[in-house]
Structures are given as structure tokens and as C-alpha cells.
Structure 1
Amino acid sequence: MKAMVCTRYGTPDRLELQELEQPLPKANEISIKVLSSTVTAGDCEMRSFTFPLYLHLPMRLLFGVRKPRMKVLGQEFAGVVEAVGESQKHFKKGDRVVGSTGMKLGANAEYVCLPERYAIVHMPKELDYEQAATIPTGGMNALFFLRKANIQAGQKVLILGAGGSIGTIAVQLAKHAGAEVTAIDRQEKLDMLLSIGADKVIDYERENFTASGETYDVIFDIVGKNTFSQAMGSLKPTGIYLIGNPSLGQVLRKFSGRKKGAGKVFVGVADYKAGDLRYLVDLSAKGKLTTVIDRTFPLEELAQAHHYVESGMKKGNVVIVH
């Protein structure tokens, strides 16, 4: 099978198109012919190994000390079941599916084998493969964090870094819960954010939200560039400050200064569950969740896709067509 292989940590040019042996499913696995996958900020971070210093040792042990252990990147996919293991019971050959590869990665290839217990669900006929492939990573992260806030109708929600794969879904989920949503990102992404439901938008390069005097029930900091002490004055006393990061390695980065009565802080790493993915896919199929696709690249141009994601200009998602 064709696969884009990361031979060494470093720049996107380290990604090479290679022929690999097609994986065969174990008893509890399914083999999927991948028709669409994506490139996320997390993929770029794993390829370049740009983790904070204090995470270098655990990440080296997880991903490989001198070179990547999981040589094929890609965290989410949509495709067709090619073969099934003898003991799995949820899928059959020919099923259209969408899912997450978790820490096994491997979606940037023609085929991937995964245990049936992973976050993999049947794909509704209303969605195409490119749309579906963008839902798992951004969607399950957005849902995980926003559920911690238990958003109520009429509350005010601020989303920092709203223009990426997590943020575009977070804006819509917060609106779905009845919140008033303010979205912060680059000027180039603001029109798109308004088009998917944001009530207000802020260009972070021109305006500092902490200087406006506005306060919020929920602040969801996806990009991790603000500290809690910086944002404290913008959070209501009963509010919650969510710290999530699409680039994986910056989780737990830079928050300090919490004072008594200044609200709650939640830091975590999303757990990926099939039930959550099914909920998100159903919302999308019913037209209640819009998938935002900026650009598509063929699998052979994965390196160019990585360059584009690292530019910071990506609106929503970058999709890889196989």
C-alpha cells in the first residue's frame, strides 16, 4: 500500500511516499481503506518533535527515542471497511466509517487496521468522506472540554483560537447550547467564524480582549497562549477557564495566578469515545454542525499540507484525499 512515512523527526520534507505491506486485521480489529484523512497541529508537532522540554522524555518514550516509532502520521479518517477480524461484531466489509486512530496514528496511508473498540462509527449517507474525516479530532476535543463547563442558555463564552479544527466545532457546540459566543483569531478567519455562528469576533493582533472590561462565564483557551492570570479579570467569579490545545504538547502550559474567588480552571486531555463521535456525526448529518474545510491535498502532497498547517493560516481543517 502507499503511505507517507516520517523517517526522522524534523521538517515536513522528512515525509516520504513509500510502499508498505498492507496490514491485516487481528481477531478484534477492522481494516479500513482510507479515502480521506487530515493534517492537524498535533500531527505537525509529532513530526517535528517540538514538545516543551519537560515533556521530551515521556514523549520520546511514547513516540520513539531517535526516530518515530509510528512512522505513518494521521489521527482521523473516513473510509470503507476492507476486512474484519473474526471476533469483532460491529462492522462488516463495505461499511462506510469515520473514526480516530488514537495514538496508533497511521491514517495518512491507503489502509489502517484498528481495534473495533476505538472511536469508530458508521458514516451517515448525508456526509461525504472529506466532511466526515474532519470531525473526530476537533469534534471530540471540543465536546470534551465544553462539557466540563456545562454551558447554559444565555451564558457568555469566549473561545481563543477559534479558527482551527477544535475551535470551529467549539463555536458551534456552544451556540447549540444557547450561549452567546465571542471568537478570537486572526483577521483572515473572522468572516468564516461569523458564518458558522459566532456572535462577536476579535482579531487578536489588533485587540486585547482583557482590556475591554467584558466578562465571560466560560473562557476556552485552545491555543494556550494566555495564562490564567492574564485572563482572570475577564472571567466571572463563578466562571470556568478551560485549557485545551490542539498541538498536544502544550497541554498544561502556562497557567498561573489563580486567586480565591476567581473562578475554576480545568486542564485535561480529551478521551475519545465512540458514543461522543456518533453524537457529533449525527449533528453534522442533520445540518446542525458545519464542517469547515480550508484546503485539500492529495496524499502525495502531505509535506505541503504540513507546511500550510504550520503557517497558522489554516481555517478549520486541511484534508488529505487518498
Structure 2
Amino acid sequence: MRAAVVDRYGTPDVVRISEVPRPAPRADEVLVRVKAAAVTSADSRIRGARFPAGFGLFARLAFGVVRPRRTILGSSFSGEVVAVGASILDMAPGDEVCGMTGLKMGAHAEYVAVPAKKLARKPSAVTHEDAAGLLFGGSTALHFLRDKASVGPGTSVLVNGASGAIGTNAVQLAKHFGATVTGVTSTANAGLVTGLGAERVIDYTRTDLAGIPDRFDVVLDAVGNLSIATGRRLLSPEGVLLLAAAGLGDTVRARGNVVAGPAPERVQSFEFLLHLAAEGAVTVVIDQIYPLPDIAKAHQRIDSGRKIGNIVVRP
């Protein structure tokens, strides 16, 4: 099968298309023909060995000290079941499914073997491209807003990085839960963020967040440029600071009204998000869709810092 292989750290040019053995599903796994897979900021960071501040040593130990241990990147995907393991009774070839592979990665390929318990059924009303784009940013936004901050009617929410993969979902989910949303983005993306449900947009190229007088019940940082100190200054007295992208120092110090750390990959969350997408309550924002042979261009787009929403490849 064809796969995007990264066998050394470096620029987007290190990503190459190669023929590799097709995985065989274990007894508890399903073999999926990948129809679409997201290329995320996490993929870009691993490829370039650019990890959040303080995480460099730990990340190298996890992903490979000298070169990537997992040579096929990609976690969020959508596709069609082609074979099932011996113990799988509730899925069959032809089923359309989607999910995330976690640290195992491997989705930037024509086929991926995944434990059946990590898969959600894709609704027919949701495209493979939208399903692949939805899960990474959507599950992160859902984890922080719903599970950690209990966002609901009357909550005031600030989303820093409102035009990215996490941010576009966070704006819509907060609005869906009844919150009043303020999005932080650039001038070029203000219309997009307003269209997704933000009542107000702050242009970070013109306004320094540190100088605004507003205070919010929830502040979600999807960029990584708010520290605990700067984020707390934006909170109302009972407010909660959500650091979806944080360095090691802030992750370790996060306690009380500060939440940081990775979001879990839960099938129940995938199903909730897919239902919203199928009903039209959430729009999956896709920046670009590339064929797998052009995946280096996808990495270049992410590295440019101008990506809007999600980038998807079609194996």
C-alpha cells in the first residue's frame, strides 16, 4: 500500500510516498481503507521535532530520539471497513467508520488497522473529509468546553485562535451550548469566525489581549501564547482558564481554575460531534484537501501559520 513516510525529522520535504506492507488486523481490530485523513499541527510538530516548551526530551523519548519511531503519521481518519479481526462481531466489510489512532498514528496511508472499540460509525450525511477533519479539533474543544468547564447558557467564552482546527469547533460548540462567544483571530478571518457564531471578534493584529477590560467565564487558548498569568487576567472571579496548547511548565502548574493537558479520544465524543455535523449544527471548516502524494504541501501549509480550520488528505 502507499503511505506517507517520515523516517527522519526535518522540513516538509522529508515526507515521502512509499510502498509499505498493508497491516493485518489483529483479533480485536478492523482494517480500514482510508478515504480521508487530517493533517494536523501535531503531525507537523512531530515531523519537525518542534514540541511545546519543556516537552522536547519527553517527546523525543515517546516519538523517537534520533528519528521518528512511528514513520507513518496521522491520527484522525475516516474510511471503509475492508476486513475484521476474528473477535469482531458488530462490524463488517463495507461499513463506513471514523476514529483516531492516538500515539500509534498510521492514518496517512491507504489502509490502517484500528481496534474496533476506537471506531465510530460515520453518518451518511457526513462526508469522509468532514469526519476526518472534525474529530481532532472537535474532540479537543468538546473535552475542554463541556467536560472541564461545563459551558452552558449565559456563559461568556473567549476562544483564542478561533480560526484553527480547535478554535472553529470551539466557537460553534460554545454557541451550541448557549454561551456568548468572543473569538480572537486575524482581520482576514473575522468574517469566518462571526459566521460560526461569535458575537464579537477581537483582531489580535490590532488589539493586545492583555489590554482589554473584558472578563470572561471561560477562556480557551488554542494557540499556546497565553500563560497562566496572562490568561487568568482575562477571567471573571469564578472563571476557568483552558490551555489546549501549553508548555510543560504551565501544564504542571495547572490547578484550581486552570486546566491543561491532552484531550482523551473517546468514541462517545466522536458520536456526539458526528451527530451535530449530520444535523448541520456544526460546520467542519476545511482549508485545503490534498491527494496523498501532495502531503508535503499540506505540511507546508501548516508550517506557514496561515491554515484555517482543517487540512485533509485523500489516500
**Structure 2 residue 53 is the aligned partner of structure 1 residue 20:** no
The CA RMSD measured in Å over matched residues stands at: 1.8
Whole-angstrom CA distance in 2 between matches of 1:298 and 1:167: 25
The CA distance in 1 between the partners of 2:202 and 2:56, in whole Å, is: 34
- Indicate conservation of the 8 Å contact 1:31/1:84, yes or no: yes
Query: By how many angstroms is 1:174 displaced?
Result: 0.3
State the alpha-carbon separation in 1 of the partners of residues 167 and 145 from structure 2. 11
Distance 1:280 1:52 in 2: 27
| Structure 1 residues 1-322: aligned runs within 5 Å | 1-52=1-52, 54-118=54-118, 120-147=119-146, 148-245=148-245, 250-254=246-250, 264-322=257-315
SS in 1 for 2:55: helix
Length-normalised TM-score, structure 2? 0.95
Give the secondary-structure state (helix, strand or coil) at the position aligned to 1:224.
coil
Q: 1 CA distance for matches of 2:207 and 2:23?
A: 50
- Where in structure 2 are there 5+ consecutive unaligned residues? none
CA-to-aligned-CA distance 1:173-232 (integer Å, 9 cap, x gap): 100111110000222221111111111111111101332211110000111101122233
Runs of 4+ off more than 6 Å: 255-259
User: What is the letter of the counterpart of residue 140 of structure 1?
Assistant: S
User: Alpha-carbon deviation of 1:138?
Assistant: 0.7
Q: Structure 1 residue 109: deviation in Å?
A: 0.4
- Tell me how far apart the structure 2 counterparts of residues 55 and 233 of structure 1 sit (CA, whole Å): 25
Give the AA of the match of 1:141. Answer: T
Structure-2 separation of matches of 1:129 and 1:53: 34
Rounded to whole Å, the distance in 1 between the matches of 2:39 and 2:9 is 16
Paired residues of 1:161 and 1:221 also in contact (CA < 8 A): yes
- Percent identical among aligned pairs is 40
Aligned residue type for 1:121: A
SS of the equivalent of 1:171 reads helix
Q: Extract unaligned runs of 5+ from structure 1.
A: none
Q: TM-score, length-normalised on structure 1? A: 0.93
Gap change, CA 1:123 and 1:49, over 3 Å in 2: same
Go from structure 1 to structure 2 and tell me whether the alpha carbon gap of 1:209 and 1:46 turns closer, same or farther (over 3 Å shift): same
- Cα deviation, residue 56, structure 1: 2.5
1:107-149 C-alpha deviation (Å, 9 max, x unpaired)? 110000011122x111111011111111111111111111211
- Number of residue equivalences: 314
8 Å Cα contact 2:216-2:239 kept in structure 1: yes
Q: How far apart in 2 are the matches of 1:258 and 1:133?
A: 30
Q: 1:8 to 1:258 in 2, by over 3 A?
A: closer
What is the CA–CA distance in structure 2 between the aligned matches of 1:255 and 1:88, rounded to whole Å?
Answer: 38
